[in-house]
């Protein structure tokens, strides 16, 4: 603050956080607090009002005066006020000092009176990204479409696009950070290049224009005038005017909205947010089905099984000890809320403790008449105590209502999407809805549908769900319906009547993978205990070269029926490329995850077989999670599928497709509790049907021979053992590094022995021994001979080698960063979990210096394996789990689970992925040489004159004299000859660009429209099943 004993003294405090990156053309909206430290009030009226202004100072000394902000009130001495200042960008890209300060209009800037201004150093970068214009009639806070267009804007900005939202109205309740990327404009301004509205110039330069359409608004007519940009028509659905009512306000706009839907003919692409809305666009006959995309809305942040509601809300609405049927939405006539009321007597006849909770606006003039009719009908049916109107509620109360509800119900006969249905599913609550318009597509089988305007059918469907439930309690345990009772002896006996299927990507004695080996042990144990088992797999053996290296067809192996199917021919390079990108930290879009699965290890024959014969099995077990042999069959029959995922915290485990798969599966069998915690806490998986099992070991386990190992290898001294893939992903590099550091300070006979193969190159050292692949018998000998097993891998879901080392009484050293192996060590006391080289060294010291201590740890590990994973103890748990989790479930529980998985399609990331995929496709429609960036560059290089050019010389000492001499010699040529020639050339260049570029833009636009017309005509003569319409299953 500047302290001056004068009339004028002020301080400025910037409240707004400045953006990290600014494209030239972007404005700023700055919140600034100003305080009057002088003794003269700042008056907003009179001949010299005080205002807040700004100026841009360039690095070259140029000054650009900006606009003004009016003070909200006159500010007396000692008082302060907060002002929003709209700062338009400087005329050119570059580095600038933005100077913000008060001024007396017509008199002076405060800095001229000694008051220090607010100075901000900013850089406006040249526009190097595609320009995207988003157009909607208004942008209103807390409005569905308003929130959607804001989500469009933010998604594209985060992806690096230059975005401007053009509208007729901006809600000032929106944060300034959002409003700074919005401009108000009308059609006349946008069409007039001389209007002075920056939105006009931006729209003419835009590469992509997204028109949102939910009702008619004047700006939508601009779709006819777009010449060069790729146009996307985002259709949100228009309520049929006849359902709204002629007497209701807004009726005329609905009529115009319906009548102008044909404007989609000017679009390159169309978007619908349900199959019903997509079909409306296609039905116009103005756009080819192949150019219409089914897009998710960003409705929810999370999906899962919601817990108990706020007791205060339960008490407020009188919901304790009642089933609660919940409706959320407007009390509009087309919502047919009265059907819910009419169904209540039939529902209460069987379940008298049932209440209907109606949440939403009911006092608006457009809804009041219908709400009054409903109130009268409630009185007629004597339901006043059982039907509760809440009116509009805040977000916390709405959340409590969803948690309190037993079933979400809606009788609406027209929905373009229906967001409350998704919100209910995301809380794990089943839905009963009218079989009308968009709702069947939104539910996608995750709810029950009833005949529209049929209260009796509505009541029947509600009763189907309520009949599954125990008597209503106090809402304290919403998960009770998902409780799985232990298997009964009768269920275990019945499990033997049908075969159990086990699906793995490969199977056989030659297969050494941990998951495949573990599942083979399950199969053989099940057969040994009298169960029928069929293994369904591919002919692949080599995971580095997918193909049929093993014989196809039906075989028997150790009593297990083995069916091998042909491996599909896929582009495995795409799979590995996506995997590499994920491991490099790149987030794959959902469509890219689908490509990852399309080119994954899979078998079309296997998928067809399971689809056709799945019901003939008691259940189908899949392992591991990563491959197409698990993903694709589960997608077809999720409720028959139990997954043994073998998860660890790797990038692919975070893919959205795998979360969907795990949440929709009948059950998940984890190998350890820590793996289950990783799924829930690290990956967000919500599936109440889960348990931890693992893999087993024979009661009469065959032990190795230490002396035989030493004789075969010649290793006579103490050694640490590692067994597995020799790869960085297994932290072998860390093990080698820590071992060599230890040996540097502890020289002696200790060696590190590694078995297995891999790509990691170990250093050449006599104390570091690589044995390569060894037989299982040789590995058992190595366990018996080693001093300790070292397994620092973090990518473990069980770790068979740790268990086998313990079965030989040897201690283990594991990574403290591996949740699963650390948990095994902590529960057993069979070794050490280390987090760095120092802890590794301390563990080795204790094990090497005290052999009896090492033996004691090994003994504790042995006891742990015997208790938890000896087959005589583990197998009964496996059989009981299969019987219990393959048991048929109540319809209520099945629908709740389907809903939670279905709601994942409507999260922010899924919306962002779909939008970015379409926009990147739209950008590809523009030839790179005619994107706005390149056109700007052409205009820049067309200017051949150099007004700021000065003759210079780099010669030392005499350089200034030489430059002066050159100017004197050429001066008589520049003005009469060179300047006119350059000016004429520049004029020619400019006129050529101004003539040719628009013509080329128009030509390219016409070419795109012709392609679209050809696609439309082709769709009209092609049978519907070949029309190329968007696959709704992708949502």
| H helices present in 139-179, as ranges | 144-158, 176-179
**610 in Cβ contact with 503 (< 8 Å):** yes
Backbone phi, psi, residue 183, to 5°: -135, 140
Asked whether the beta carbons of 44 and 50 are under 8 A apart, the reply is yes
N residues, the chain: 1035
Tally of CB atoms within 10 A around 766: 6
Q: Is the dihedral of CA 746, 749, 750, 754 positive or negative?
A: positive
Bridge partners of 28, per DSSP, are: 87
The one-character DSSP state at 353 is S
In whole angstroms, how large is the CA radius of gyration of the chain?
36
Query: In whole angstroms, what is the distance from residue 811 CA to residue 864 CA?
Result: 12
Write out 648-713 in H/E/C secondary structure.
Answer: CCCHHHHCHHHHHHHHHCCEEEECCHHHHHHHHHHCCCCCCCEEECCCCECCCCCCCCHHHHHHHH
Instruction: Tally Cβ neighbours within 10 Å of residue 318.
Output: 13
User: Which residue in the block uniquely carries the two structure tokens 């056989």?
Assistant: 508
At 294, list the tokens. 């089914």
Query: Token pair of 894, please?
Result: 């099945």
Least confident of 296-310, 438-452, 832-846, 994-1008: 994-1008
Q: pLDDT tens for residues 740-773?
A: 999 999 999 999 999 998 889 999 999 999 999 9
Comparing 1015 with 387, the larger pLDDT belongs to: 387
868/875 Cα distance (integer angstroms): 10
Q: Is a pLDDT exceeding 90 seen at residue 676?
A: yes
Cα(496)–Cα(54) distance, integer angstroms: 83
Q: What count of Cα atoms within 13 Å lies in the side-chain half-sphere of residue 648?
A: 18
Domains of the chain: 10-124 (2.60.40.10), 127-298+907-1035 (3.40.50.2000), 311-482 (3.40.50.2000), 489-692 (3.40.50.2000), 706-869 (3.40.50.2000)
Tell me, what DSSP letter sits at residue 633?
Answer: H
What is the 8-class DSSP label of residue 153? H
| pLDDT for res 963 | 58
What is the reported pLDDT for 948?
47
Q: What is the pLDDT of residue 6?
A: 78
Q: Which of 614, 640, 609, 643 is nearest to 504 (CA)?
A: 643
Confidence label for 544 from pLDDT (cuts 50, 70 and 90): confident
Tokens of 485: 């009772």
Confidence of residue 191 (pLDDT cuts 50, 70, 90): very high
Is the per-residue pLDDT at 60 higher than 60? yes
Say how far apart CA 900 and CA 423 lie, in whole Å.
Answer: 10
Q: What is the DSSP string of 184-218?
A: E--HHHHH-TTS--HHHHHHHH-SEEEEEESS--G
The 10s digit of each residue's pLDDT in 120-139 is 999 999 998 999 999 999 99
Say if residue 448's pLDDT is above 50.
yes
The residue among 400, 72, 365, 165 whose CA lies nearest residue 247 is 365
Residue 298: what pLDDT?
94
Q: What is the pLDDT of residue 475?
A: 55
C-alpha dihedral, 195 to 198 to 204 to 207, nearest 10°: -170
pLDDT band of residue 1018 (cuts 50, 70, 90) is: confident
Residue 329 has pLDDT above 90, yes or no: yes
Among 439, 432, 447, 460, which residue's Cα sits nearest to residue 343?
A: 460
Structure tokens at 125: 């970068």
Query: In angstroms, rounded to a whole number, what is the distance separating the alpha carbons of residues 589 and 227?
Result: 31
Give the H/E segment covering residue 560. Answer: strand 560-565
- What spatial distance separates the first Cα and last Cα of the chain, rounded to whole Å? 57
Taking the CA atoms of 953, 958, 963 and 966 in sequence, report the sign of the dihedral they define.
negative
Residues 475-517 pLDDT 10s: 567 888 999 999 999 999 999 999 999 999 999 998 877 899 9
Asked if 127 and 196 touch (Cβ cutoff 8 Å), the reply is no
Half-sphere exposure of 682 (CA within 13 A, CB side): 16
Rounded to 5 degrees, φ, ψ at 878 are: -65, -50
DSSP 586: P
Residue 310 structure tokens: 């706020």
pLDDT tens by residue, 960-983: 665 555 555 555 555 565 566 666
d(C-alpha 675, C-alpha 1031), whole Å: 34
Mean model confidence pLDDT for the chain? 90
Q: Cβ neighbours of residue 85 under 8 Å, at least 6 residues apart?
A: 28, 29, 30, 32, 52, 54, 69, 100
- Of the candidates 517, 510, 550, 555, the one whose C-alpha atom is nearest the C-alpha of residue 534 is 555
Residue burial 601-635, b: 16+ Cβ < 10 Å; e: rest: bbbebbbebbeeebeebbbbbbbbbbbbbbbbbbb
If you search the block for the tokens 């009768």, which residue do you land on?
Answer: 490
Instruction: List pLDDT tens digits, range 289-302.
Output: 999 999 999 999 99
Rounded CA-CA distance 917/915 in Å is 5
Which of 762, 739, 761 is closest to 752 using CA atoms?
739
Q: Give bridge partners of residue 30 from the DSSP assignment.
A: 85
Question: What confidence tier does 1026 reach under pLDDT thresholds 50, 70, 90?
Answer: very low
- Is residue 830 within 8 A of residue 869, CB to CB? The reply is no
For 328-340, the three-class secondary structure string (H helix, E strand, C coil) is ECCCCHHHCHHHH
Confidence bin at 247 (pLDDT 50/70/90): confident
SS3 percent helix, strand, coil of the chain, rounded to 5, is 45, 20, 35
Whether the Cβ atoms of residue 244 and residue 370 lie closer than 8 Å to each other: no
Is it the case that residue 253 has pLDDT exceeding 70? yes
Question: Picking from 35-49, 285-299, 955-969, 988-1002, which range would have the lowest pLDDT averaged per residue?
Answer: 955-969
With contact defined as beta carbons under 8 Å apart, do 519 and 621 qualify? yes
How does residue 1032 score in pLDDT terms, banded at 50, 70 and 90?
Answer: very low
- Give pLDDT, residue 470: 85
As given in the structure block, the two tokens for residue 211 are 């028109």
Q: Residue 269: enclosing H or E segment and its boundaries?
A: strand 269-272
pLDDT at 236: 96
At what angle are helices 514-528 and 871-885 packed, to 10 degrees? 90
3-state secondary structure of 397: helix
Q: What was the pLDDT predicted at 778?
A: 95
pLDDT for 513 equals: 78
- What pLDDT was estimated at residue 1031? 44
Beta strands 690-692 and 667-670, pairing class: parallel
Distance, CA of 819 to CA of 826 (rounded, Å): 10
């Amino acid at each position: 603050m500047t302290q001056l004993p004068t009339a004028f003294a002020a301080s400025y405090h910037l409240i707004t956080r400045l953006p990290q990156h600014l494209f030239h053309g972007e404005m700023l909206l700055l919140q600034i607090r100003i305080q009057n430290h002088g003794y003269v009030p700042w008056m907003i009226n009179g001949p010299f009002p005080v205002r807040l202004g700004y100026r841009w100072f360039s690095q070259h000394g140029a000054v650009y005066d900006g606009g003004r902000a009016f003070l909200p009130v006159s500010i007396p001495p000692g008082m302060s006020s907060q002002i929003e200042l709209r700062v338009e960008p400087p005329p050119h890209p570059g580095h600038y000092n933005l100077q913000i300060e008060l001024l007396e209009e017509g008199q002076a800037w405060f800095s001229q009176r000694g008051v220090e201004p607010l100075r901000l150093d900013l850089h406006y970068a040249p526009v190097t990204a595609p320009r995207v214009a988003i157009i909607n009639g208004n942008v209103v806070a807390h409005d569905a479409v308003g929130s959607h267009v804001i989500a469009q804007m933010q998604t594209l900005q985060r992806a690096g696009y230059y975005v401007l939202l053009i509208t007729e109205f901006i809600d000032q309740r929106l944060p300034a950070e959002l409003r700074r990327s919005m401009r108000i404009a009308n059609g006349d301004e946008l069409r007039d290049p001389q209007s002075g509205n920056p939105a006009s110039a931006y729209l003419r330069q835009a590469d992509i224009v997204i028109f949102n359409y939910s009702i008619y608004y004047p700006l939508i007519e601009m779709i006819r005038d777009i010449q060069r940009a790729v146009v996307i028509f985002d259709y949100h659905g228009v309520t049929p005017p006849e359902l709204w009512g002629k007497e209701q306000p807004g009726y005329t706009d609905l009529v115009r909205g319906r009548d102008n839907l044909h404007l989609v003919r000017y679009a390159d692409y169309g978007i619908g947010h349900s199959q019903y809305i997509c079909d409306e666009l296609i039905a116009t006959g103005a756009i080819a089905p192949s150019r219409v995309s089914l897009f998710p809305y960003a409705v929810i942040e999370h999906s899962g099984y919601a817990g108990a509601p706020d007791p205060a809300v339960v008490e407020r609405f009188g919901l304790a000890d009642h089933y609660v049927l919940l409706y959320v939405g407007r009390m509009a006539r087309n919502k047919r809320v009265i059907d819910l009321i009419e169904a209540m007597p039939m529902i209460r006849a069987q379940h008298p403790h049932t209440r209907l909770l109606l949440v939403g606006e009911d006092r608006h003039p457009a809804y009041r008449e219908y709400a009054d009719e409903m109130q009268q009908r409630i009185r007629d049916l004597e339901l006043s105590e059982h039907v509760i109107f809440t009116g509009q509620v805040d977000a916390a109360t709405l959340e409590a209502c969803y948690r309190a509800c037993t079933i979400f119900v809606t009788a609406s006969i027209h929905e373009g999407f229906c967001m409350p249905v998704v919100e209910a599913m995301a809380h794990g609550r089943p839905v009963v809805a009218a079989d009308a318009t968009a709702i069947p597509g939104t539910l996608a089988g995750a709810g029950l549908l009833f005949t529209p305007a049929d209260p009796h059918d509505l009541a029947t469907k509600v009763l189907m769900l309520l009949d599954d439930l125990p008597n209503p309690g106090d809402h304290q345990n919403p998960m009770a319906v998902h409780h799985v009772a232990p298997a009964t002896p009768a269920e275990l006996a019945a499990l033997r009547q049908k075969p159990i299927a086990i699906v793995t990507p490969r199977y056989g004695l030659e297969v050494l993978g941990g998951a495949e080996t573990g599942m083979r042990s399950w199969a053989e144990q099940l057969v040994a205990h009298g169960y029928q088992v069929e293994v369904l797999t591919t002919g692949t053996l080599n995971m580095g070269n997918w193909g049929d290296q093993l014989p196809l067809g039906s075989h028997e192996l150790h009593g297990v029926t083995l069916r091998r199917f042909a491996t599909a021919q896929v582009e495995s390079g795409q799979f590995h490329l996506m995997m590499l990108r994920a491991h490099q930290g790149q987030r794959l879009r959902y469509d890219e995850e689908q490509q990852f699965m399309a080119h994954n290890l899979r078998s079309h024959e296997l998928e067809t077989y399971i689809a056709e014969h799945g019901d003939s099995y008691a259940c189908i077990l899949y392992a591991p999670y990563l491959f197409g042999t698990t993903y694709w069959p589960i997608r077809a029959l999720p409720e028959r599928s139990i997954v043994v995922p073998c998860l660890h915290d790797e990038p692919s485990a975070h893919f959205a497709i795998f979360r969907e798969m795990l949440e929709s599966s009948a059950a998940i069998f984890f190998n350890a509790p820590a793996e289950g915690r990783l799924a829930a806490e690290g990956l967000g998986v919500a599936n109440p049907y889960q348990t931890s099992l693992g893999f087993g070991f024979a009661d009469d386990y065959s032990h190795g021979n230490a002396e035989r190992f030493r004789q075969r290898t010649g290793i006579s001294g103490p050694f640490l053992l590692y067994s597995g893939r020799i790869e960085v992903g297994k932290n072998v590099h860390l093990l080698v590094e820590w071992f060599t550091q230890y040996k540097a300070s502890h020289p002696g006979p200790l060696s590190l022995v590694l078995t297995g193969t891999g790509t990691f190159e170990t250093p050449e050292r006599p104390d570091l021994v690589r044995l390569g692949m060894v037989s299982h018998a040789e590995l058992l000998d190595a366990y018996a001979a080693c001093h300790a097993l070292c397994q620092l891998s973090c990518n473990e879901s069980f770790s068979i080698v740790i268990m086998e080392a313990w079965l030989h009484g040897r201690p283990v050293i594991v990574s403290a960063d591996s949740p699963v192996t650390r948990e095994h060590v902590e529960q057993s006391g069979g070794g050490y979990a280390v987090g760095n080289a120092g802890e590794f060294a301390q563990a080795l010291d204790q094990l090497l210096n005290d052999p009896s201590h090492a033996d004691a740890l090994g003994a504790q590990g042995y006891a742990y394996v015997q208790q938890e994973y000896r087959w005589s103890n583990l197998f009964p748990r496996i059989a009981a789990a299969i019987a219990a989790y393959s048991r048929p479930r109540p319809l209520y529980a099945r629908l709740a689970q389907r809903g939670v998985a279905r709601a994942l399609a409507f999260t922010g990331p899924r919306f962002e992925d779909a939008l970015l995929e379409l926009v990147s496709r739209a950008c590809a429609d523009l030839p790179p040489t005619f994107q706005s960036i390149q056109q700007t560059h052409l205009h820049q290089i067309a200017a051949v004159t150099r007004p700021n050019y000065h003759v210079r010389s780099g010669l030392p000492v005499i350089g200034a004299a030489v430059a002066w001499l050159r100017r004197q010699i050429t001066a008589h040529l520049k003005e009469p000859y060179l300047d006119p020639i350059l000016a004429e050339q520049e004029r020619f260049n400019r006129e050529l660009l101004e003539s040719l570029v628009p013509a080329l833009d128009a030509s390219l636009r016409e070419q795109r429209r012709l392609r679209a017309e050809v696609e439309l005509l082709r769709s009209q003569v092609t049978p519907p099943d070949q029309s190329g319409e968007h696959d709704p299953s992708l949502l």
